[in-house]
Structure 1
Amino acid sequence: MRVLICPDKFAGTLSAPDVAAAVAEAWHDEKPQDEIVTRPLSDGGPGFVEVLAAALPGRAVPVETVDPLGRPAAGEVLVVGDTAYVESAQACGLHLLAKTERDPRAATSFGLGILIAHAVESGARTVVVGLGGSATNDGGAGMLAALGAAPVDGSGYALPYGGAALVAVAGLGGEPRLRDVTLVAATDVDNPLTGLHGASNVYGPQKGATREDIMLLDSALERWAGVLEKLPTCPPGVAGLAGAGAAGGLGAAILALGGRCESGIDMVNRLIGLDAAFDAADLVITGEGSFDFQSLRGKVVAGVAAAAAERGVPCLVVAGQVSAGRREASAAGVTESWSLTEHFGSEEEAMARPADGLREIAKRLASQWSR
């Protein structure tokens, strides 16, 4: 039997390659005659560079950057030919902050600008930026500051970092230094920058924003959009464009710099040759930390399940937690779903021993599904 294992990360516990390895190891132990192919996945969020580095013939260049609060953080630029790949979560990720530190009013995307600047200096002609899992809500203002175009107030003074300061933004204090590099945002978020479905309203609460914060941040981003539109490369009405709200508005900044948005999961699938692996598979296993209603709306699991359904191949989901409705999951192409929390009987045990749980569930699945 040919088994394709292509999970996303389990946020806070295991990377996508670690998840794939645990499932593959246990399946092989149970059914050594089966052919197992692993293709760890990412939709542009945490793990994007790691997944691509495992599949592409490039070189990973370590870069010292900063986290959303300006503290030192480790990042890297993956250089493949004349294309460089960077990951916003390495500098802007929510996972870099303790829950008590989350504050989208002050969090900055400056660290991502450092990564992009290094990618530009590497000689790349195209820089692909994976967007997702951010703690920021500054519309990419910090990123632009690191690239030489800091937001300024009406008197020309540079503003403090963070989304809240943009209520006073009046312009940019310089030109972005990109050397004609093309920017591409890899994301499967199609939210606009502002409004009811914008970055602040939809994603602000998980980043620590109160109702009052959300109103302030949305107003600040609306003002920021007016500044971005003064850039000669910015498309009109950037605040309302699909993907502008990705990663706290980083999508809007990339669009304003003449970049474009592409589906992160589609890009990863293309780069790692996932379609060919799907065509050869008899069974597909995917998963993520929390399999919920959002998983069925554009995330990795939804893309994998749809691809399996197109080929008439069963798709099993293994997740830390499962709250997606069975009927909805089935309609999306999911055959069965398994939860580590249910397997262990507690969320604490599932978080503490995710690899053990994955191996135990995988052995059970192998005995049930292998011919």
Structure 2
Amino acid sequence: MWPATLLRMRVLLCPDKFAGTLSAPDVAAAVADGWRDAAPGDDLLLRPLADGGPGFVDVLAGALGGCRVPVPTVDPLGRPAAGEILLTGDGTAYLESAQACGLHLLTAAERDPKATTSYGLGLLVAAAVEAGARTAVVGLGGSATNDGGAGMLVPLGVTPLDGAGRALPYGGAALAAAAALDGEPWLRGVTLVAATDVDNPLLGLHGASSVFGPQKGADRADVLLLDAALQRWAEVLTERLPGCPPGLGALPGGGAAGGLGAAVLALGGRCESGIGLVTRAVKLDAALDAADLVITGEGSFDHQSLRGKVVAGVAGAARDRGVPCVVLAGRVSTGRREAAAAGVTDAYSLLEHFGGEEHGGVDAAMTRPVEGLRALGARLARQWSR
């Protein structure tokens, strides 16, 4: 008989958030609770993940520790919102655009990238500067804005102006009239880093407006208007902002979060992989090396999941190590063959767990996700535990 320690499964739980329902740490905890109900003797390691979007700060706080500092900010329509920055001992501040610019902060009827602003993110960056950070890492993703970071620049001391020298209104549409800048960036030598896994440029067919504008409420006419406005904005930044790199509109990552990536680049910052940054912070490689089974997941496991998102990265890394990887999601629409090629051994959905669409599964998956994930965790334990 094998020693008892060899009979214990080593299970790595590293999900992304379930957008609109649970944070990544909550997802991992629910699945772990279910597994322990069915197989209490196994070793579970929880390493929730994020790629720069909602939950970025929460995940890094769990991995890095540090001090979480509340920062009052505003949402994409200028209403009060709760933000925070994470300060770590090495002089780095971590913040996420979604706390101030997030699509989840608006109702469907309020989504209008012609009017939404990134001003609230500027308040978070300014707080990091005021706190004495040497580097500010900004998680980009899940934004409701398409203003090229114009709103973000205002709390940092730079006001976009029209041809008559008047301050531009907030929102992406107003950038069509951009002609000049007033003031200089107030960064006190802080280095900005955009954490994103989007490599889209600011402009064009693959740019911020064309690719991401429709999910933020833009119709075809809006997309054309916004892309032209961002083109004018890129010209102004290149001409008027010292240190802005040439060819700003075509730089990889500039289109992230409605052009916030371009604003970071214009301020002398750089883009880094959000999921790469997080996986290093949580020491995911070492955890994968020791795992017998990997469980990951996200709200919707679909064709986009296999193109650079958290699940794809985890499944590929597990496959390379010969470790089985199971995906849990709110909804699964990826084909079994396509998922298997990406390294996914099996996939389970809350929708099907609760009986499918015809039996109210959608409502149950949205309102009772913890219950469903706990049940799926127990089911996996009964299937996989030694």
Q: Which runs of 5+ in 2 are unaligned?
A: 1-8
Q: Greater CA radius of gyration, 1 or 2?
A: 2
* Counterpart position of 2:341: 331
* 1:103-122 paired onto structure 2 within 5 Å: 103-122=112-131
Q: Does 1:60 align with 2:68?
A: yes
Aligned length: 371
Measured after TM superposition, the shift of residue 365 of structure 1 is 0.9
* Counterpart position of 2:15: 7
Listed one character per residue, the Cα deviations across residues 179-202 of structure 1 (whole Å, up to 9, x for unaligned) are 111000000011111111111111
Q: Does 1:365 align with 2:386?
A: no
* 1:1-371 paired onto structure 2 within 5 Å: 1-81=9-89, 82-230=91-239, 231-344=241-354, 345=356, 346-371=361-386
SS in 2 for 1:229: helix
- Aligned counterparts of 2:302 and 2:269: Cα–Cα separation in 1: 31
- Aligned counterparts of 2:156 and 2:335: Cα–Cα separation in 1: 45
- Aligned counterparts of 2:289 and 2:163: Cα–Cα separation in 1: 58
- Aligned counterparts of 1:38 and 1:302: Cα–Cα separation in 2: 18
Measured after TM superposition, the shift of residue 57 of structure 1 is 2.5
- Aligned counterparts of 1:171 and 1:293: Cα–Cα separation in 2: 42
Identity %: 74
Measured after TM superposition, the shift of residue 170 of structure 1 is 0.6
Measured after TM superposition, the shift of residue 271 of structure 1 is 1.0
SS in 1 for 2:21: coil
Measured after TM superposition, the shift of residue 232 of structure 1 is 2.3
SS in 2 for 1:85: strand
SS in 2 for 1:363: helix
SS in 2 for 1:143: helix
Measured after TM superposition, the shift of residue 91 of structure 1 is 0.2
- Aligned counterparts of 2:69 and 2:379: Cα–Cα separation in 1: 40
SS in 1 for 2:83: strand
Structure 1 vs Structure 2 CA RMSD: 0.8
- Aligned counterparts of 2:171 and 2:280: Cα–Cα separation in 1: 35
Per the normalisation by structure 2, the TM-score is 0.95
- Equivalent position amino acid for 2:39 in 1: K
SS in 1 for 2:82: strand
- Equivalent position amino acid for 1:319 in 2: A
- Aligned counterparts of 2:313 and 2:237: Cα–Cα separation in 1: 33
Measured after TM superposition, the shift of residue 145 of structure 1 is 1.2
Listed one character per residue, the Cα deviations across residues 67-108 of structure 1 (whole Å, up to 9, x for unaligned) are 000000000010002100010000000000011111100000
Listed one character per residue, the Cα deviations across residues 164-223 of structure 1 (whole Å, up to 9, x for unaligned) are 000000121111101111000000011111111111111111101111111100000011
Listed one character per residue, the Cα deviations across residues 18-47 of structure 1 (whole Å, up to 9, x for unaligned) are 000000011011111110000010000000
- Aligned counterparts of 1:124 and 1:56: Cα–Cα separation in 2: 16
Q: Which runs of 5+ in 1 are unaligned?
A: none
SS in 2 for 1:84: strand
- Aligned counterparts of 1:222 and 1:280: Cα–Cα separation in 2: 49
- Aligned counterparts of 1:171 and 1:272: Cα–Cα separation in 2: 43
- Aligned counterparts of 2:336 and 2:266: Cα–Cα separation in 1: 41
* Counterpart position of 2:5: none
- Aligned counterparts of 2:364 and 2:303: Cα–Cα separation in 1: 23
- Equivalent position amino acid for 1:77 in 2: I
Measured after TM superposition, the shift of residue 115 of structure 1 is 0.1
Measured after TM superposition, the shift of residue 310 of structure 1 is 1.3
- Equivalent position amino acid for 1:13 in 2: T
